[in-house]
Structure formats: structure tokens, C-alpha cells
């Protein structure tokens, strides 16, 4: 049984992409049922979250291919934070007891990870938590940090999506002998080298343009202000340069205002949200992919860009340096628009071999699922 808020909902079908792809493939070895606990905020503007786009999910909707259900629990920003784990536990414990699973798997450490560990203890079964990035790197306050540390002590095993993230978890109290890094994968049936000219004709991008692509949530923490500042400098030197930003988010309106004020609105293409196959077409069309984030775990989109044979210019944060080297791109300083500008310029000037780039890092979701299941199986074998 899997407990995670990091899972598709109707309004965000690509939410929890790495969890969803891994779990689909783990069905080879186990019957899997997902409980997705969802925080429900009061219907009052000031008491709703501002750091991300909040949706009240359709509880009847189901992600294709996996047995799943949604469970809502009430929260109030900041005020209820010490109690959110208990509130989540009240929702999931009856479901877990009724299902009698052999093992509990969780994505996202608090509050859902704490609730998962507590439920597992009550049933006398092992629990595995998978930390994906922000749940370790961007803990918002001392109360959440306390419960994250408790979760790391109380789970049976910890998986992280990068070695950097594992090190951060160890500093918070995770046990070295009960933790390991399992990097994310990529669906190479979708993401692979393709002819740039054909993709550009399909998307309406001029063949002669230099195209820089960003894919991700439109939030400031993705380095979008730095991208706009770098784009203004590059546009002054490169008359044909274009920037495509795929995604949606709460910073969307401010981002559009920002590119207007910087005088580069005519250089930006904003297609909005895109499916995996649409993202693959944009990756085929681009010259360089960029991800100037402030924090990351193991970003799927970097793996997808590499699988498509595109160089990557990204910040030196989280698990990105485990993926990007001088052989397939450039690492730049977080929050430094000048360094980002220089990295993008260097990547655009260099000749790249798409076939060689795509072959440097080949890792499938099947591998991720097999390695994740191996952890679960080892814990089950230790059970009396």
C-alpha cells in the first residue's frame, strides 16, 4: 500500500510523475493500492496557500492503471502544522487496517510520511519513505523539521532520489545503513533523439532561431526571474533567439508582466501545460534546455532532455550535478543571472552530438521500479 500526496489529480494529471511511473512498473512484483491524502484548506482567500496552485480534487477521479483512492484531511496554514500528521493518520489508518498490506510505501516526508510510519508501527509492518527533494531541502519551519526528523528515525528504510538528498537526510538523522539513493528514470519510448526541423515545423518555431527551452512549474523558485534577466542580455546579442517556457503556476501572471517589463515579450513562447509527448516535441525542437532552479531533487525533465540529446544548462543544486557535467551541459550558480547568461551562451555556441548526449545517461523507470522493489522485498524477508 502506498500513501502519498505526490500523485496525479484530475486538474494536474502529471503531478507525482516519478511516483506514478515507478508504481506502474512495480505491479510486476506486487499488488499495489494507493491512498493519496490531500490537504483541504478553508474556503477563505487569506487562509489558502499562496506558494502553489491549490485545487480541491475530484475524489471520484482515478489515475489510469493503478488502484487508488483519495482521502481529504483539514488543514489551516501555519496554525494546524503541528497536528497535520495526526489529522492525516486519522484518515489513512482505517483504510490501512482494512486492507492489511504487507508493507507501506510513502512519497513525501511530512505530514504524510510521519502518518505512514505511525500506521505501519500500529500494524507491525515495515515502512519505506521516498524523499523527493523539497520535503528534505525546503522544510518551512521548526515544527515541520521536528516531525521530518521523527519520520526519518521511525521509518524502516529511506530512499532518496539523489545522493545529495540522501546526505541531507543523513544530516537530519536518517540512518546510513537504512537508506540509499535511487535516481529517477525516463520513458525512452517517448523521450529520444528526433529531427529538430520536423519538430519546429510542427510547433511553428522558425528553423533559423536559437531556441532555449524551460519546462516546469511557473514559480519563482524555478529561477524564472534569472531566466528573464539572462534572456534580455542574450536577446541584445542574438537577434534570432527565442525562449519557450512550458508549464503553469501561481507566478504565471507575474512572469508575463516581468517579460513585458524586460522588453522581451516577443522572444518568449508560453504554450502552457503540455503532455509528455508534447514536451518531447519541444525538446526535439530546442537547441538548449535550461533549469535554473533554486532547489531540486532528481529532476525528471533533465533526464528527459538528456534522453532527447539536448545539452542542459542548470543550477548547481541538489542532484543536478549528479546528472549534468561538462560533457552534456553547463552548471551555473543558483540565483546568478549573469552566470546563467554565460552558460546559455556557451551551450548555444558549442556543437553537440545528440546521439552521444542521449547515450550518456540511460535509465528506465523499469530500473527504478526494480531497485525500489528490491528494498521492499529485503524488508519483507526480515519479517518474522
CATH of the domain at 317: 3.40.50.2000
Total count of domains within the chain: 2
Same domain, 28 and 88: yes
Same domain, 214 and 297: yes
Same domain, 278 and 338: yes
Note whether residue 256 is domain-resident: yes
- Output the pLDDT for position 53: 65
Same domain, 295 and 161: no
Q: What pTM value is reported for the model?
A: 0.90
Q: What separation in angstroms does the CA of 260 have from each of 202, 230, 240?
A: 27, 14, 18
Same domain, 298 and 375: no
DSSP H stretches of helix in 286-361? 300-307, 337-349, 354-360
Mean pLDDT of the chain: 94
Same domain, 28 and 125: yes
Beta bridge partners of 162: none
**pLDDT tens digits, 284-312:** 999 999 999 999 999 999 999 999 999 99
Same domain, 214 and 349: yes
Residue 42, domain extent: 2-185+364-382
Half-sphere exposure of 106 (CA within 13 A, CB side): 32
Note whether residue 191 is domain-resident: no
Q: What's the pLDDT band for 79 if we cut at 50, 70, 90?
A: confident
Same domain, 96 and 210: no
**pLDDT tens digits, 34-71:** 999 999 988 766 666 665 666 788 999 999 999 999 99
Same domain, 31 and 156: yes
The sheet that has 104-107: what strands, in order across it?
Answer: 67-74, 33-40, 2-3, 104-107, 127-131, 157-160, 179-181
Same domain, 150 and 102: yes
Amino acid at each position: 500500500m502506498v500513501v502519498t500526496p505526490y500523485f496525479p489529480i484530475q486538474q494536474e494529471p502529471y503531478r507525482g510523475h516519478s511516483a506514478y511511473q515507478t508504481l506502474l512498473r512495480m505491479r510486476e512484483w506486487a499488488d499495489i493500492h494507493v491512498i493519496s491524502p490531500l490537504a483541504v484548506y478553508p474556503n477563505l482567500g487569506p487562509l489558502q496557500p499562496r506558494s502553489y496552485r491549490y485545487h480541491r480534487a475530484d475524489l471520484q477521479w482515478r489515475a489510469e492503471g493503478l488502484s487508488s483512492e483519495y482521502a481529504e484531511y483539514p488543514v489551516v496554514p501555519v496554525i494546524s502544522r503541528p497536528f497535520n500528521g495526526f489529522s492525516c493518520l486519522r484518515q489513512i489508518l482505517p483504510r490501512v487496517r482494512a486492507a492489511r498490506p504487507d508493507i507501506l510505501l510513502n512519497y513525501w516526508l511530512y505530514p504524510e510520511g510521519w502518518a505512514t510510519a505511525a500506521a505501519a508501527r500500529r500494524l507491525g509492518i515495515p515502512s519505506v519513505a521516498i524523499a523527493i527533494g523539497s520535503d528534505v531541502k525546503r522544510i518551512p519551519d521548526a515544527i515541520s523539521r521536528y516531525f521530518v526528523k521523527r519520520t526519518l528515525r521511525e521509518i524502516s528504510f529511506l530512499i532518496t532520489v539523489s545522493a545529495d538528498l540522501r546526505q541531507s537526510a543523513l544530516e537530519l538523522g536518517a540512518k546510513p545503513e537504512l537508506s540509499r539513493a535511487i535516481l529517477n528514470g525516463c520513458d525512452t519510448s517517448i523521450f529520444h533523439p528526433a529531427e529538430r526541423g520536423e519538430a519546429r515545423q510542427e510547433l511553428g518555431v522558425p528553423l533559423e532561431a536559437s531556441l532555449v527551452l524551460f519546462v516546469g512549474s511557473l514559480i519563482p523558485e524555478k529561477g524564472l526571474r534569472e531566466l528573464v534577466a539572462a534572456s534580455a542580455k542574450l536577446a541584445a546579442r542574438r537577434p534570432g533567439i527565442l525562449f519557450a517556457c512550458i508549464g503553469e503556476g501561481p507566478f504565471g501572471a507575474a512572469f508575463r508582466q516581468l517579460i513585458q517589463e524586460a522588453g522581451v515579450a516577443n522572444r518568449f513562447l508560453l504554450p502552457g501545460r503540455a503532455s509528455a509527448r508534447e514536451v518531447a516535441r519541444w525538446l526535439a525542437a530546442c537547441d538548449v534546455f535550461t533549469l535554473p532552479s533554486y532547489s531540486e531533487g532528481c529532476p525528471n525533465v533533465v533526464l528527459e532532455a538528456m534522453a532527447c540529446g539536448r545539452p542542459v544548462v542548470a543550477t548547481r543544486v541538489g542532484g543536478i550535478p549528479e546528472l549534468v557535467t561538462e560533457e552534456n551541459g553547463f552548471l551555473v550558480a543558483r540565483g546568478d543571472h549573469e552566470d546563467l547568461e554565460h552558460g546559455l551562451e556557451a551551450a548555444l555556441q558549442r556543437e553537440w552530438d545528440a546521439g552521444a548526449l542521449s547515450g550518456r545517461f540511460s535509465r528506465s523507470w523499469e530500473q527504478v521500479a526494480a531497485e525500489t522493489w528490491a528494498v521492499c522485498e529485503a524488508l519483507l524477508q526480515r519479517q518474522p
